[in-house]
């Protein structure tokens, strides 16, 4: 079924708000089997919305309207659609009671027009807002289907996941069961991922395979539709095996948790403490660790040694190592990791030293980075990376590469191109 997303709000066109909702909905609806032919943004203007609705109805069967469901004068989506379809707006008493209770319990004065949030098209299916007040709705005519969702992402996303997706499965799809699987990748570009998976993604219709950037990681989402959950799982397992055969070396995990969270869980499960000695990353690795839930279980402390003097005076890297091999070297990475391991009495220590850019350092080009790993009662090792010329992107990839080396070490996976301390 063809669908169009219409995002309503002047803030979107002025650039004061980012349209993350359209990206989310495009991803979710495509996974359910809808063909998104167009996604547009318009001002909150009744005449313009009526014009766009007529255009949409001539092109698609399913129209998704985002935003314009609040109590303000410029929230015109419900009233405009009601006018367009020649339908009355009726009060949803459950939503009205929630609005009144909210304002009573919060000691806030309820705005005069707040009741507008509880109005719904006559004959439509109300969609409860689990995190806000504005009511969503789903309405069907003989020829078209209309979905109205709030404009705030923290209201739209839970409304879609908890109430809308099950309804669409029941009303508009031919398969009662849908199952999702996310495969997380790191260490390759989007272009490489598309090149490796393009053939599978275009030839396999079920499950639908979608590839998305997720910060500096990549998410591959598999969505299967079938008559039973078991059939869905079998379809996903078959496609997952094909992906693993092609990109297994880049798979860092499954689900929505990113690499630092994956490592956090591994450290927690194995009751391991982590530390780090950082140079070019300036504390970025330790900042990621300390931002994690229950960080105190896996981290006691770490150290930033940006200059050569600090590496020697504070951490204890020998002058001989610095003078003989330089700071952009395996030898320096070895010592930094070992010294921090001892200093903080950790189980695993990470060191990061290299050239963030944009200038050369020790005749090494920007993006040249050594990541060292020291482990209690085991041989210290390090790996040299070559990233790029963008300073802060190099620093971010350095942090993620360090996390990935820790992940592979704990899981006893092979770490490519490592150098061991003699």
User: Per residue in 347-371, pLDDT tens?
Assistant: 999 999 999 999 999 999 999 999 9
Give the model's pLDDT for residue 378: 96
Residue ranges matching CATH 3.30.70.2860 in the chain: 177-254
Residue 108: pLDDT band with limits 50, 70, 90: low
| HSE-up of residue 105 (Cα within 13 Å, Cβ side) | 6
Give mean pLDDT, residues 77-81: 93
Percent of the chain residues past pLDDT 90, beyond the cut: 79
Cβ–Cβ < 8 Å for 312, 351:
no
Sequence-distant (6+) residues with CB within 8 A of 149 are: 21, 25, 64, 65, 66, 67, 69, 127, 136, 156, 159, 160, 164
Give the model's pLDDT for residue 64: 98
Max Cα-Cα span within the chain: 84
Whether residue 111 is predicted with pLDDT greater than 60 in this model: the reply is no
Give mean pLDDT, residues 251-275: 97
Helix axes 229-247, 190-203, angle to 10 degrees: 140
Residue 174: pLDDT band with limits 50, 70, 90: confident
Give mean pLDDT, residues 35-58: 95
Whether residue 100 is predicted with pLDDT greater than 70 in this model: the reply is no
Residue 238: pLDDT band with limits 50, 70, 90: very high
Torsion-angle region of 400 (φ positive above 0: left; ψ -120 to 50: alpha; else: beta): alpha
Cross-strand partners of 38: 4
Whether residue 104 is predicted with pLDDT greater than 70 in this model: the reply is no
What phi, psi does 418 have (nearest 5°)? Answer: -85, 155
The structure tokens listed for 415 are 């770490």
The structure tokens listed for 414 are 């092979």
- Considering only the top CATH level, what class is 177-254? alpha beta
The structure tokens listed for 368 are 């040249």
- Does the reported pTM lie above 0.85? no
The structure tokens listed for 45 are 């203007």
pLDDT in tens, 305-361: 999 999 999 999 999 999 999 999 999 999 999 999 999 999 999 999 999 999 999
The CA distance from 348 to 71, in Å, is 55
pLDDT in tens, 264-312: 999 999 999 999 999 999 999 999 999 999 999 999 999 999 999 999 9
Fold topology of 259-420: Maf protein (3.90.950)
Helix axes 259-269, 391-410, angle to 10 degrees: 30
Give mean pLDDT, residues 248-253: 96
The CA distance from 369 to 353, in Å, is 6
Residue 408: pLDDT band with limits 50, 70, 90: very high
Give the model's pLDDT for residue 105: 63
The structure tokens listed for 134 are 């504005």
Residue ranges matching CATH 3.40.980.10 in the chain: 2-172
pLDDT in tens, 382-399: 999 999 999 999 999 999
Q: How many CB atoms lie within 10 A of CB 277?
A: 31
Whether residue 26 is predicted with pLDDT greater than 80 in this model: the reply is yes
91 or 211: which leads in pLDDT: 211
Residue ranges matching CATH 3.90.950.20 in the chain: 259-420
Fold topology of 2-172: Molybdenum Cofactor Biosythetic Enzyme; Chain A (3.40.980)
Give mean pLDDT, residues 164-175: 89
Residue 337: name the closest of 297, 383, 288, 371 by CA.
371
The mean of the pLDDT values for the chain is 92
Give the model's pLDDT for residue 118: 77
196 or 102: which leads in pLDDT: 196
The CA distance from 58 to 209, in Å, is 29
Sequence-distant (6+) residues with CB within 8 A of 180 are: 31, 221, 222, 223
Whether residue 63 is predicted with pLDDT greater than 60 in this model: the reply is yes
């Amino acid at each position: 079924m063809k669908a169009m997303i219409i995002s309503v709000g002047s803030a979107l066109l002025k650039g004061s708000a980012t349209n993350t909702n359209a990206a989310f909905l495009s991803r979710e609806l495509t996974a359910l089997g809808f063909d998104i032919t167009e996604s547009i943004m318009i001002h909150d203007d009744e005449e313009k919305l009526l014009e766009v609705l007529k255009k949409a109805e001539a092109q698609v069967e399913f129209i998704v309207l985002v935003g314009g469901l609040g109590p303000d004068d410029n929230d015109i989506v419900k009233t405009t659609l009601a006018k367009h379809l020649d339908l009355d707006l009726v009060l949803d008493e459950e939503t009205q009671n929630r609005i009144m209770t909210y304002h009573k319990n919060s000691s806030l004065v309820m705005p005069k027009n707040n009741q507008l949030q509880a109005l719904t098209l006559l004959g439509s299916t109300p969609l409860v807002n689990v995190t806000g007040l504005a009511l969503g709705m789903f309405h069907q005519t003989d020829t078209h289907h209309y979905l109205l969702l709030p404009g705030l992402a923290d209201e739209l996303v839970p409304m879609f996941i908890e109430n809308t997706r099950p309804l669409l499965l029941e009303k508009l799809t031919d398969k009662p069961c849908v199952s999702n699987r996310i495969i997380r990748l790191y260490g390759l570009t989007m272009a490489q991922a598309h090149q490796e998976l393009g053939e599978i993604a275009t030839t396999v219709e079920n499950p639908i395979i979608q590839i998305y950037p997720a910060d500096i990681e990549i998410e591959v989402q598999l969505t299967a539709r079938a008559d039973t959950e078991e059939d869905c799982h079998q379809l996903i397992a078959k496609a997952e095996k094909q992906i693993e055969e092609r990109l297994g070396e880049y798979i860092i995990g499954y689900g929505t948790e990113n690499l630092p969270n994956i490592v956090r869980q591994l450290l927690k499960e194995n009751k391991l403490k982590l530390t780090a000695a950082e140079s070019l990353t300036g504390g970025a690795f330790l900042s990621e660790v300390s931002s994690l839930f229950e960080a105190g279980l896996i981290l006691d402390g770490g150290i930033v040694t940006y200059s050569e003097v600090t590496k020697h005076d504070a951490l204890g890297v020998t002058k001989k190592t610095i003078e003989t091999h330089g700071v952009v070297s395996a030898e320096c990475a070895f010592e930094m990791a070992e010294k921090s391991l001892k200093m903080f009495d950790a189980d695993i220590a990470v060191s990061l030293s290299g050239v963030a850019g944009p200038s050369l350092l020790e005749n090494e080009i920007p993006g040249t980075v050594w990541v060292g790993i020291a482990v209690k009662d085991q041989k210290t090792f390090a790996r040299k990376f070559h990233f790029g010329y963008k300073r802060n992107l190099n620093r971010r990839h350095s942090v993620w590469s360090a996390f990935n080396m820790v992940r592979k070490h704990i899981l006893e996976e092979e770490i490519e191109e490592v150098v061991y301390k003699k």
